[in-house]
Amino acid sequence: MSFPKNFLWGGATAANQCEGGYNEGGRGLANVDVIPHGEDRFKVGSGVREMLDFEEGYYYPAQIGIDFYHNYKEDIALFAEMGFKTFRLSIGWSRIFPKGDELEPNEEGLKFYEDVFKECQKYGIEPLVTITHFDLPIHLIKEYGGWRNRELIEMYKRLVTVLFTRYKGLVKYWLTFNEVNVILHFPFMGAGLLFKEGENPKHAIYQAAHNELVASAWATKIAHEIDPNNQVGCMLCGGQFYPYSCHPEDVFAALTKDRENLMFIDVQARGYYPSYALKMFEKEGIEINMTDEDLEILKAHTVDFVSFSYYSSRCISTQEGAGTSDGNIISSTTNPYLKASEWGWQIDPLGLRITLNTLYDRYQKPLFIVENGLGAKDTVEADGSINDDYRIDYLRDHVKAMKDAIEEDGVDLLGFTPWGCIDLVSASTGEMSKRYGFIYVDRDDLGNGTLKRSKKKSFDWYKQVIESNGENLD
Ligand code: BGP
């Protein structure tokens, strides 16, 4: 048997991409609400185009998402039918603290997640909760400047204290910040950052990142104090960089690109800034407001496990003319040995095994793959069936790679939650047509459709994978 008996098979979602109910239950407005579908999405998400409220002429897919807010019972029942052991979802911060800086939480918001967790408990599904998946109350951006402001650490501590206390006994697995390194590429979406004229964005980004890392360490401390059973993880937007050639300059470039992302996990898993990061700050003139207490907290409260998303490996060349490919937020030199998805993301199952090994060698902590999957267009046949063999093929190859990493390499892997187990809004494009789910949701890119759920062919395939604990992949 390669997968451990208690391996956590499941699926992953995020509040801003599926929940909807943006103005219900006392919820406040958040950054993720005002990032529109269409050509301005990237500009808004990266903080280049300021949009702090809904503007006419735009469509905002997060407002309704797939309306998980009203359909969670039906959705969780379908997850249970597939045999999920775990379900990854995130908390909308502005549901709990509508403005973010209140002293008292919003009971209606707390009750919503309590109901969701109890529904999971009914089926023996262990929730895996991302505390913030790109979510930030808009008030904290307007009044405080987002995560660049240290005051947010206190607000985050208040948020997590409320969550750990209220959900004690219902939730054990927590992730502090989704894809913490994405702040480098999507700073408004990742950390509520907007840049002032003449400001060097890098300075604000690394200060905000530091504040998040410290907040994350505090969350780990508080989680363990409130319930020693709590397990807290960090979350990397993962995928190893390959050198395009064996030219030493390409090899060094790949090392450098990996460090850009791994720096965050180095801090969260080892408890201190690596020397290459301190040298980079010095060279770039980045002065981070970092207190002695911050350094103590980082050191004393490292994470229990390391989680990551993996869609593809990445590649880097120092020579011109190699061509670039899109990927999960971070673009890359095109790898001539790999095929790509309809959205141009290259497909590399062995890259997952490589990434697992790198992370395990580096941190020696249990790993958790909390996102993986194929974004593809699906066709609903006349009889209602959806034959997504391409998705099954992608997932089968990646499960095999996980299996090899466990069986052959001895990697300690806690679980696997493929992304968008039910179709939801794409983070990068705002589209619905970029589908990842085992469950189809009738909704299009502009919000038309009945929201009806139906099972795809991959639904039964995944059910059998879970039933056989990863032994039957055909
Ligand atoms: C990650 C995010 C998810 C998710 C996924 C797929 O970056 O954590 O929120 O959306 O990527 O990306 P996309 O939706 O752009 O296809």
At residue 330 the predicted structure's pLDDT band, cuts being 50, 70 and 90, is confident
Tell me which residue of 163, 125, 161, 131 sits closest to 14, measured CA to CA: 131
Task: Decide: pTM greater than 0.95.
Answer: yes
Is 2's pLDDT higher than 90? no
Is 132's pLDDT higher than 80? yes
Nearest CA to ligand 1 atom 7: 328
Pocket of ligand 1 (CB under 6 A): 14, 17, 178-179, 237, 309, 328-329, 371, 375, 419, 426-428, 434
Q: Are the CB atoms for 366 and 413 separated by under 8 Å?
A: yes
Enter the tokens of residue 364.
């020696």
pLDDT greater at residue 332 or residue 127: 127
Report how far ligand 1's centroid is from the alpha carbon of 428 (Å). 6
Annotated catalytic residue 81: no
The Cβ-side half-sphere exposure at 59, using a 13 Å CA radius, reads: 16
Q: What is the CA radius of gyration of the chain?
A: 21
Q: Are the CB atoms for 369 and 402 separated by under 8 Å?
A: yes
What does the DSSP assignment read for 21-40? Answer: -TTSTTPPPBGGGG--SSTT
Is 196's pLDDT higher than 90? no
- Name the catalytic one among 19, 119, 179, 212: 179
Is residue 474 situated within a structural domain?
no
- Name the catalytic one among 19, 119, 371, 431: 371
Q: Which atom of ligand 1 is nearest to the CA of 343?
A: 16
H-run or E-run covering 243: strand 241-243
Is residue 368 situated within a structural domain?
yes
β-pairing, 413-416 vs 8-12, is parallel
Is residue 409 situated within a structural domain?
yes
Enter the tokens of residue 270.
């080892």
Tell me which residue of 390, 422, 426 sits closest to 37, measured CA to CA: 426
Q: Which atom of ligand 1 is nearest to the CA of 16?
A: 9
Give the range of the structural domain holding residue 438, as residue numbers without chain letter.
Answer: 8-467
Q: Are the CB atoms for 223 and 160 separated by under 8 Å?
A: yes
Report how far ligand 1's centroid is from the alpha carbon of 420 (Å). 9
Is residue 73 situated within a structural domain?
yes
List CB contacts of 300: < 8 A, sequence separation 6 or more. Answer: 217, 221, 271
Is residue 472 situated within a structural domain?
no
What DSSP designation does 170 have? T
Is residue 3 situated within a structural domain?
no
Q: Which atom of ligand 1 is nearest to the CA of 426?
A: 14
Return the pLDDT at 1: 63
Is residue 290 situated within a structural domain?
yes
As a three-state string, the secondary structure of 370-419 is EECCCCECCCCCCCCCCCCHHHHHHHHHHHHHHHHHHHCCCCCEEEECCE
Residue-wise pLDDT tens digits, 428-450: 999 999 999 999 999 999 999 99
Return the pLDDT at 91: 98
Helices (H) and strands (E) in the chain, counts: 15, 14
Enter the tokens of residue 161.
């204290």
Q: For the chain, what is the domain count? A: 1
Residue 422 φ then ψ, to 5°: -120, 140
Residue-wise pLDDT tens digits, 141-173: 999 999 999 999 999 999 999 999 999 999 999
Tell me which residue of 11, 147, 111, 45 sits closest to 428, measured CA to CA: 45
Residue-wise pLDDT tens digits, 29-56: 999 999 999 999 999 998 889 999 999 9
Annotated catalytic residue 371: yes
Report how far ligand 1's centroid is from the alpha carbon of 181 (Å). 13
Is residue 214 situated within a structural domain?
yes
Residue type, 270: R
List CB contacts of 245: < 8 A, sequence separation 6 or more. Answer: 317, 319
Tell me which residue of 249, 240, 375 sits closest to 314, measured CA to CA: 240
d(CA 89, CA 73): 14
- Pick from 236, 428, 432, 435 the residue to mutate for probing ligand 1's pocket: most ligand atoms within 8 Å of its CB: 428
Q: Considering the chain, what is the average pLDDT of its residues? A: 97
Q: What's the distance, CA 456 to chain centroid?
A: 24
- Pick from 68, 186, 309, 345 the residue to mutate for probing ligand 1's pocket: most ligand atoms within 8 Å of its CB: 309
Q: Are the CB atoms for 290 and 210 separated by under 8 Å?
A: yes
Range scoring the smallest mean pLDDT among 14-18, 54-58, 331-335: 331-335
With the C-alpha atoms ordered 33, 288, 181, 332, is the resulting torsion angle positive or negative?
A: positive
Residue-wise pLDDT tens digits, 15-25: 999 999 999 99
Work out the angle at residue 277's Cα, subtended by the Cα atoms of residues 273 and 282, and round it to the nearest 5 degrees: 115
Report how far ligand 1's centroid is from the alpha carbon of 294 (Å). 30
Report how far ligand 1's centroid is from the alpha carbon of 426 (Å). 6
Enter the tokens of residue 262.
């791994």
CATH of the domain at 341: 3.20.20.80
Tell me which residue of 430, 458, 456, 428 sits closest to 442, measured CA to CA: 456
At residue 412 the predicted structure's pLDDT band, cuts being 50, 70 and 90, is very high
Return the pLDDT at 162: 98
